[in-house]
Amino acid sequence: MRPSDIRKVCVLGAGTMGAGIAQRAAQSGYQVTLRDIEDRFVQGGLDNIRKTLEEGVRRKKVTQEQSETILGAIHGTTDMAEAVEGAQLVIEAIFEDMDIKRQVFEELDKLCPPETILVSNTSSLSVTEMAKITSRGPNFAGLHYFYPAAINRLLEVIAGDETSEDTMDLLMDLGRIMGKVPIRCKDSPGFIVNRYFVPYLNEACRLVDEKVANIPEVEAAACEAFGIGMGPFALMNATGIPIAYHSQCSLHDALGEAYAPSPLLKAQFEKEEKWDLEGDVDPAAKEVASKRLLGVEFAVASQLIEEGVCTTEDADLGATIGLRWANGPFVMMNQIGTKEARYLVGAWIQTLPETARFPMPRPLEELAAGDANWSVSTVVTETEGPVAILRVSRPAALNALNTDVLEDLGEALEAVEADPSLRVAIITGEGNAFVAGADIKEMVTKTPLEARAFTQLGHRVFRRIEEMDTIVIAAINGYALGGGMEMALACDIILASEKARVGLPEVGLGIHPGFGGTQRLPRLVGRWKAKELILTAQQLSAKEAKAIGLLNEVYPSDMLMEKAKAMAHRIAGMGPVAIKLAKHAVNRGVEIDLDTALNYEVESVSLCFASEDRVEGLQAFIDRRKPEFKGR
């Protein structure tokens, strides 16, 4: 099933989570049924959605018209058969109770055709176990929406033991279409974020319980170490101590004594009181608390990698998008050095009762021994046969290009080029943006010499896009501003979603485009139009950009990646030698006079005729068969 095959989504359970999920799905253009067992629950869910949308209209996040369209797309019902009728995706969002979920999935399994994807929204139950209730392991998966589901951008997509890769890919794509930043994980206690976040809350309580630090010292330590505005105790006061306690108990049950809840957390839960945040801060105690909090964080994050639950990139996205930490645990470990991280983990393990201690996670041990860093790329590559998808993934900063991103992109392009099986690459952005430009926060302190080196780095990477044999398609999924638009201008084909906005806003910042914008744009749209766009810093919608020849095609946002992939696969099916020579012939030809360019074409075609591919391609036409190109 492709994302565009999904037209109707059924959400079971009209509580806070279910209503939020239904709203998000309707907001993303799907027909939605929201089902609960009693009409008053259904109406309650619909009322909540209505109120959220009214608030959205008041805060100008949605228009009145959009709000009405969203509400009109959601149909409430108590009838299960009616709810699932015609739905390609069913999301169960009822209580976290295995027995109730069992009844629901048994019923769903009978009612839904085998191809319907069944999903449980869960923060703690085993997806593999739930899948076994049904007869559709490959088409069954877990989703973990974070509160509030309509707004929080993080989404964990959980593979049960039998979930197929196709189902996982589909749910990741759907998550993105619904405006989420999806992270992929194996079915494992606490999945990704709760696995390291809940023990961090618990550790805060242990520190106070053991009189290592008081509450304000732990708060200050956490805010400083993790770059956050609210420490663990303030957060528990806001979100509820019971949820922290119960979540830690679940981890304890599943993972053993190292995860035992702090007696202080248990006592506070039983007292039903909030934490008192008042008190003085002793810098020395704060320092010790900081090391302990980092120690537990690094220990658990390293375990996730050792157990193969997720990638370092997804674990870090969980922290930066879901928890709004300045950095995820792996980037933090790299920043302080893996040797120091290993020391902090070792010291934290020693604070556990002897019977609860566990060995140093092996991946961290090995990295620290070699004084090496975790591999955490800001450009994530997936492959689909001969097509590579390069996703710039720094969504908390709208994928802004800092030195790391440019270097990671350079390495990702190099890896694609070095792999002869890959013929086409698609560059896109994680989250709502393609790339919102060069990183303004990094640039603000740059000296002219540093700016020069940064600009040259950008030039080198974007030039590689033009000069590599692989065909590169830009799939602009949102903002492509400044360096983001300049990156797209270096690609061979530019596709965009209706939501895309492109422009070169640099002069408004007192600088001018520096990643090729002053040079490639005039070559594309002519010097007068280019100057108009650069000097006025005007942003264009995707349709306006297409009208002036700035991009090839515009698609509805839920179709962009499907269309980009279809085009990539079509190109990948052509003669490999021919497509790369054609790319270079066009790129060279537009830079030089026509006679020289035509001579270039002569040489290029001659080279093409020297390839086995042209023998195969021409002969296949005569034989009326599909050619089998070898790329030589």
Residue number with CB closer to ligand CAA (185 or 438): 438
Distance CA 485, CA 490 (A): 9
Q: Smallest Cα–Cα separation from 414: which of 386, 396, 435, 388? A: 388
298 in contact with ligand CAA (CB under 6 A): no
Residue number with CB closer to ligand CAA (212 or 440): 440
Give catalytic status of residue 486 as yes or no.
Answer: yes
Candidate list 287, 430, 506, 628, residue with the active-site label: 506
Residue number with CB closer to ligand CAA (441 or 625): 441
Q: Binder to ligand CAA among 295, 322, 505, 575 (CB under 6 A)?
A: 505
Handedness of CA 24, 29, 30, 36 (dihedral sign): positive
481 in contact with ligand CAA (CB under 6 A): yes
457 in contact with ligand CAA (CB under 6 A): no
Residue number with CB closer to ligand CAA (116 or 378): 378
- Is-cis flag, bond preceding 114, omega within 30? no
Q: Output the smallest distance, CB 544 to ligand CAA, in A.
A: 16
Residue number with CB closer to ligand CAA (486 or 613): 486
Task: Specify whether the CB–CB gap between 456 and 436 falls below 8 A.
Answer: no
Task: Specify whether the CB–CB gap between 178 and 206 falls below 8 A.
Answer: no
Give catalytic status of residue 628 as yes or no.
Answer: no
Distance CA 624, CA 612 (A): 18
482 in contact with ligand CAA (CB under 6 A): yes
- CB burial string 413-437: b at 16+ within 10 A, e below: beebbeeeebbbbbbbbbbbbbbbb
397 in contact with ligand CAA (CB under 6 A): yes
Question: Could you give the string, one character per residue 239-278, with x where binding to ligand CAA holds by CB under 6 A and - elsewhere?
Answer: ----------------------------------------
Candidate list 54, 106, 486, 601, residue with the active-site label: 486
Site for ligand CAA in 422-441 (CB under 6 A): 436-441
Q: Output the smallest distance, CB 322 to ligand CAA, in A.
A: 14
Q: Quick one: tokens of 495?
A: 């596709």
Q: Which stretch binds ligand CAA (CB under 6 A): 236-244, 255-263, 311-319, 394-402?
A: 394-402
Residue number with CB closer to ligand CAA (348 or 515): 515
Q: Smallest Cα–Cα separation from 294: which of 259, 267, 329? A: 329
What region, left, alpha or beta, does residue 385 occupy, with left being phi > 0 and alpha being psi -120 to 50 degrees?
left
Beta bridge partners of 119: 91, 141
The per-residue DSSP string of 435-469 comes to: E--B-HHHHTT--HHHHHHHHHHHHHHHHHHHHSS
Q: Binder to ligand CAA among 142, 318, 513, 617 (CB under 6 A)?
A: 513
Distance CA 5, CA 202 (A): 44
Residue number with CB closer to ligand CAA (504 or 577): 504
3-class secondary structure for 190-242? CCCHHHHHHHHHHHHHHHHHCCCCCHHHHHHHHHHHHCCCCCHHHHHHHHCHH
506 in contact with ligand CAA (CB under 6 A): yes
Residue number with CB closer to ligand CAA (461 or 551): 461
Are β-strands 140-145 and 154-159 bridged in parallel, bridged antiparallel, or unpaired? antiparallel
Place of tokens 């945040």: 277
Q: Output the smallest distance, CB 397 to ligand CAA, in A.
A: 4
Place of tokens 């140093």: 360
Place of tokens 């619904």: 178
Q: Output the smallest distance, CB 405 to ligand CAA, in A.
A: 10
Q: Output the smallest distance, CB 547 to ligand CAA, in A.
A: 22
Q: Which stretch binds ligand CAA (CB under 6 A): 114-122, 248-256, 270-278, 477-485?
A: 477-485
Q: Which stretch binds ligand CAA (CB under 6 A): 74-82, 109-117, 205-213, 508-516?
A: 508-516
For ligand CAA, the binding residues (CB under 6 A) are 397-398, 400, 436-441, 458, 479, 481-483, 486, 505-506, 509, 513-515, 517
Q: Hey, which residues are catalytic here?
A: 486, 506
